[in-house]
Structure 1
Amino acid sequence: MGCHPLVHRTALLAGLIIAASGTATANSNPGAHQHGHANLQMAIEGHSISLMLMSPAANLIGFEHQPHTDAEKQQLSDLVRWASDTPLINTPEQRCLVTDSQLHTSWPQGGHHDHHQDHEENSHGDIEISQTLDCQGLGNSDQWSTPLMAEFPDIEQLDVQWVSPQGQGGTRLEHPASSFRIEH
Structure 2
Amino acid sequence: MKRTILLAACAALLTSGPTLAHGPHEHGAAHLNVAVDGSTVTIDLESPLANALPFEHSPSTPAQRKAVQNMAATLRKAENIFILPAAAQCRLKEVTLESAALPAELLTAPHTQQPAKSEHNDHIAHGADHVAGKPEHADHADHAPDATEAAHADLDASFVFECANADALKSMDVNLFAAWPALHELRVQLVSLTGQHAAELTAEAHTLKW
- Tell me which interval the TM-score lies in, with the shorter structure as reference length: 0.7 to 0.9
Aligned match of 2:48: 56
Q: Determine which of 165, 179, 196 is the counterpart of 1:168.
A: 196
Structure 1 pair 48–7 and aligned structure 2 pair: CA distance change class (3 A): closer
| TM-fit CA distance, 1:98 | 1.5
Q: What is the CA–CA distance in structure 1 between the aligned matches of 2:62 and 2:149, rounded to whole Å? A: 16
Deviates more, 1:80-89 or 1:149-158: 80-89
1:97-136 pair list within 5 angstroms? 97-107=91-101, 110-111=135-136, 113-114=138-139, 119=147, 123-136=151-164
Deviation at 1:7, TM superposition (A): 4.0
Greater Rg by CA? 2
User: Sequence identity of aligned pairs in percent?
Assistant: 26
Provide the residue aligned with 2:83 in structure 1. Answer: 90
Which residues of structure 2 form unaligned runs of 5+? 104-134
Change (3 A) 1:122 1:76: closer
TM-score (norm 1): 0.79
Cα distance, 1:77–1:21 mapped onto 2, change above 3 Å:
farther
Mapping of 1:30-49 within 5 angstroms?
31-49=23-41
Summarize the Cα distance change of 1:173–1:166 in structure 2 as closer, same or farther, 3 Å threshold.
Answer: same
For residues 74 and 108 of structure 1, the distance between their equivalents in structure 2, rounded to whole angstroms, comes to 12
Report how far residue 148 of structure 1 moved: 0.3
- Give the structure with the higher percent helix: 2
Specify the SS of the correspondent of 2:10: helix
Hey, what does 2:5 align to over in structure 1? 5
How far apart, CA to CA, are the structure 1 residues paired with 2:19 and 2:44?
12
Of 156-165 and 99-108, deviating more is: 99-108
1:113 counterpart letter in structure 2: A
What are the ranges of 5 or more consecutive residues in structure 1 without an aligned counterpart?
Answer: 23-30
> Alignment length, in residue pairs?
174
Contact 1:66–1:111 under 8 Å retained in 2 = no
Contact persistence 1:103–1:130 (CA under 8 A): yes
Q: Structure 1 residue 111: deviation in Å?
A: 4.5
CA drift of 1:143 comes to 2.5
Instruction: Please give the alpha-carbon distance, in whole angstroms, between the structure 2 residues aligned to 1:117 and 1:14.
Output: 27
Q: Residues 179, 111 of structure 1: CA spacing in aligned structure 2 closer, same or farther, 3 A cutoff?
A: farther
Give me the TM-score of the superposition, normalised by structure 2.
0.71
Render the CA deviation track for 1:69-112: whole Å, top value 9, x for unaligned.
Answer: 11111111122222222234222428432210011103276256
The one-letter amino acid of 2:138's match is H
Q: CA RMSD in A?
A: 2.8
Are 1:144 and 1:181, in contact at CA under 8 Å, matched by a contact in 2?
Answer: yes
Aligned amino acid, residue 53 of structure 1? L
Please identify, of 100-109 and 143-152, the stretch whose mean Cα deviation from structure 2 is larger: 100-109
CA 1:168–1:120 in 2, change beyond 3 Å: closer, same or farther?
closer
Higher relative contact order (CA 8 A, sep 6+): 2
Q: CA deviation at 1:35?
A: 0.4
